A and B are shown apart, each in its own frame.
Chain A
Amino acid sequence: MSEFLSPKDLPAALAARAAHPDYIPVAGGTDYMVASKDRLPPPGIINLFGLGALTGVTDLDGGGVRIGACTTYATLLGDARIANTFPLLRDACREVGASQIQARGTLGGNIATSSPVGDSLPPLLALDAVICVASSAGERRVAYEDFLVGYRKIDLAADELIVAIELPAPHVGAMQHWRKVGTRRAQSISKVMMAAVAHLDDGRIADIRIALGAVADRTVRARATEDALRGSAPSEEAAKRAREALRGEITPIDDLRSTAEYRLGVAENLVRRFVLSL
Chain B
Amino acid sequence: MGHASNSSEEAKAKGSVGKGLARVDGAAKVRGTARYVDDLKFPGMHHGLTKRSEVPHGILRGIHKREGFDWSQVVVVTAEDIPGRNTILLIEEDQPALVAIGAHVRHVDEAIALIAAPTRALAREAHGFLDLEIEEIPAVFDCEEALSAEVNVYGDDNILKTYLIEKGDADIEEKLASCDHVVEGLYRTQAQEQMYIEPQGMIASWGEDGVCHIIGSMQCPFYIQKAMRALLALDDDNLVVEQAVTGGGFGGKEEYPSMIAGHAALLARKAGVPVKLIYERDEDIAATTKRHPSVVRHRLGFDADGTIRAIDVDVIFDGGAYLTLTQVVLSRGVLHAAGPYKCENTRVRGRAVATNTPPHGAFRGFGAPQTTFAYERQTQKAAALLGMSPFEFREHNMLRDGDRTATSQLLEGSVGSEDVLRAVKEVAEANPLPKDDPATSIRHGRGVAFYFHGAGFTGSGEARLAGRATVALAEDGHFEVRSSSTDIGQGVQTMFTQIAATGLGVEPDAVRVPTPATDRVPDSGPTVASRTCMVVGRVVGQASVALKNRIESWASENGFGDMPLRQAATAMAKVEGEISETVQYAPPPGIVWDDETYTGSAYPCYGWAACVIDVRVDTDTYEVAIDRCVHAVDVGKAINPVVVKGQIEGGTLQSLGWALWEDVIYKNGKVANDRMTNCIVPTFSDAPEMHTIIVEEPFANGPYGAKGVGEIPMDGPCAAAAGAVEHALSTLVSSEGFDALPVSPEAIQRAMRLDS
Chain A residues with CB under 8 Å of chain B are 35, 37-38, 98, 179, 181, 183-189, 191-192, 256-259, 261-262, 265-266, 269-270, 272-273
A106 to B441 Cα, complex, angstroms? 33
Q: Which of A185, A189, A191, A272 has the most CB of B within 10 A?
A: A185
| 6 tightest Cβ-Cβ pairs between the two chains A and B | A186-B685, A269-B620, A185-B685, A38-B124, A262-B746, A186-B683
Residues of A within 8 A of B621 (CB): 179, 181, 192, 266, 269-270
Contacts across chains A and B counted by CB atoms under 8 Å:
67
Q: Say what secondary structure dominates the interface of chain A.
A: loop
B686 close to A (CB within 8 Å): yes
Chain B residues with CB under 8 Å of chain A are 120-121, 124, 280, 282, 441, 619-623, 625, 661, 665, 672-673, 675, 677-678, 680, 682-686, 745-746, 749-750, 753
Our pick among A185, A186, A257, A261 for the contact of B749 (Cβ within 8 Å) is A261
Chain B nearest CB from A86 CB (Å) reads: 23
> Do A265 and B673 touch across chains, with their CB atoms under 8 A apart?
no
> Do B622 and A262 touch across chains, with their CB atoms under 8 A apart?
yes
> Do B680 and A186 touch across chains, with their CB atoms under 8 A apart?
no
A43 to B733 Cα, complex, angstroms? 57
A98 to B623 Cα, complex, angstroms? 19
Residues of B within 8 A of A269 (CB): 441, 619-621
> Do A258 and B124 touch across chains, with their CB atoms under 8 A apart?
no
Residue of B nearest to A189 (CB): B677
A258 to B621 Cα, complex, angstroms? 12
Residues of B within 8 A of A181 (CB): 621, 623, 745
Q: Which of A38, A181, A188, A270 has the most CB of B within 10 A?
A: A38
Chain A nearest CB from B10 CB (Å) reads: 40
> Do A186 and B620 touch across chains, with their CB atoms under 8 A apart?
no
Residue of A nearest to B663 (CB): A256
> Do A183 and B672 touch across chains, with their CB atoms under 8 A apart?
no
Residue of A nearest to B440 (CB): A273
> Do B678 and A187 touch across chains, with their CB atoms under 8 A apart?
no
Residues of B within 8 A of A186 (CB): 683-686
Residue of A nearest to B625 (CB): A185
Our pick among B619, B680, B750 for the contact of A184 (Cβ within 8 Å) is B680
Our pick among A38, A183, A256 for the contact of B661 (Cβ within 8 Å) is A183
Known A184-B661, A262-B745; contact A189-B678, beta-carbon cutoff 8 A:
yes
Our pick among B120, B623, B683 for the contact of A38 (Cβ within 8 Å) is B120
Chain A nearest CB from B672 CB (Å) reads: 6
Residues of A within 8 A of B749 (CB): 261-262, 265-266
Residues of B within 8 A of A191 (CB): 745
> Do B678 and A266 touch across chains, with their CB atoms under 8 A apart?
no
> Do B620 and A270 touch across chains, with their CB atoms under 8 A apart?
yes
> Do A258 and B672 touch across chains, with their CB atoms under 8 A apart?
no
Residues of B within 8 A of A192 (CB): 621
Residue of A nearest to B660 (CB): A184
Known A37-B280, A258-B746; contact A185-B120, beta-carbon cutoff 8 A:
no
A222 to B316 Cα, complex, angstroms? 47
A39 to B682 Cα, complex, angstroms? 29
16 additional contacts, CB 8 Å, given A181-B623, A183-B680? A37-B280, A38-B120, A184-B661, A184-B685, A185-B685, A186-B684, A191-B745, A192-B621, A256-B665, A256-B678, A258-B745, A266-B620, A269-B619, A269-B620, A270-B620, A272-B620
Chain B nearest CB from A119 CB (Å) reads: 14
Chain B nearest CB from A264 CB (Å) reads: 10
Residues of B within 8 A of A270 (CB): 620-621
Chosen A-B contacts, 26 in total, with CB atoms closer than 8 Å, are A35-B282, A35-B675, A37-B120, A37-B280, A38-B120, A38-B124, A98-B683, A183-B661, A183-B678, A184-B680, A185-B625, A185-B683, A185-B686, A186-B684, A187-B683, A188-B680, A192-B621, A258-B745, A259-B746, A261-B749, A262-B622, A262-B749, A266-B621, A269-B621, A270-B620, A270-B621
